[in-house]
Amino acid sequence: MKLRAMLMLTVLGASLSHAGEKEARQAVLTLAPGAKVVSIAPAPLAGLFEVVIDGPRGPGVVYASTKGDHVIVGELLDVKQRRNLTEERMEKLTAVKFDSLPLDQAIKVVRGNGKRKLAVFSDPDCPFCRKIEPELAKLKDVTIYTFPYPLPMHPDAARKSRLVWCAKDRVQAWDDLMLRGKLPANGRTDCGDPVDKNLALGQKLRIDGTPALIFADGRRVPGYAEAANIEQMLRQAEAGQGR
């Protein structure tokens, strides 16, 4: 008898936990018929579901009421704790397994003990990629893997990426190009470069802009950042790996 009662309570609890899920899903699909709903779960705020959708630019988060009569597109902030709950969720959804990156397709530079790791997708004709290079040069005790990632909007970037890769000293060639605007003198572009593989990798990871930084804990940060901010994120990544 007790076992039967426990089973009934389990079934009842499961049905209650999903109450309103169908309505929330329908609300999102009504506004975005082509959306692919990946998951629905209770949001941190009572009366709302977190709906994760997948689109051309990767996952996104919206919120729908349990009655299905309201959809919120925006960020959910915890005022008391001063936390951006949507941003934290997106960081988890877009995290990259660092160890899965094909690091042999990147230009590797080791500074100091090289203990900390950072991957950078960079386009040689991207102004902000050039701007971030002096900031990266300020970092200590880090190994940086730079993936040459020429964007379609820069028609000569692929050639420059291949020239750097084919240079005798890739690290020096990359620094010369990004910091001093000087191309390698050897002129070779036929050494089996990984540019096409990097473009395919970036599409898989949905990297549509440069620079794009990926930290050892999987966190990705798009765009330019100053050395102090990158250093802070490196420390956070190191702490996160230690947990």
Residue 146 lies in a domain: yes
Same domain, 27 and 135: no
Whole-model pTM over 0.75 = yes
The whole domain housing 87 covers 18-93
Same domain, 81 and 32: yes
How many separate domains does the chain show? 2
**Per-residue pLDDT tens for 97-140?**
999 999 999 999 999 999 999 999 999 999 999 999 999 999 99
Do the beta carbons of residue 32 and residue 73 sit within 8 Å? no
Same domain, 104 and 206: yes
**Per-residue pLDDT tens for 22-38?**
999 999 999 989 889 99
Same domain, 103 and 74: no
CA distance linking residue 162 with residue 175, whole number of Å: 14
Residue 214 lies in a domain: yes
Do the beta carbons of residue 24 and residue 13 sit within 8 Å? no
Same domain, 234 and 181: yes
Same domain, 105 and 147: yes
Do the beta carbons of residue 235 and residue 149 sit within 8 Å? no
Residue 12 lies in a domain: no
Quote the tokens at residue 150.
């020429």
Confidence of residue 243 (pLDDT cuts 50, 70, 90): very low
In terms of Cβ atoms closer than 10 Å to its own Cβ (0-12, 13-18, 19+), residue 7 is: exposed
- Non-local (6+) Cβ contacts of 184 within 8 A are 163, 164, 166, 167, 173, 176, 177
Same domain, 107 and 197: yes
Q: Which residues of 31-70 are buried (b: 16+ CB within 10 A; e: fewer)?
A: ebeebebeebebbeeeebbbbbbeeeeebbbbbbbbebee
Same domain, 26 and 62: yes
CATH of the domain at 135: 3.40.30.10
Same domain, 117 and 228: yes
Judge whether residue 18 has pLDDT over 80.
Answer: no
CA distance linking residue 122 with residue 157, whole number of Å: 10
Same domain, 64 and 145: no
Residue 10 lies in a domain: no
Same domain, 64 and 109: no
**Per-residue pLDDT tens for 144-197?**
999 999 999 999 999 999 999 999 999 999 999 999 999 988 778 889 999 999
CA distance linking residue 130 with residue 127, whole number of Å: 5
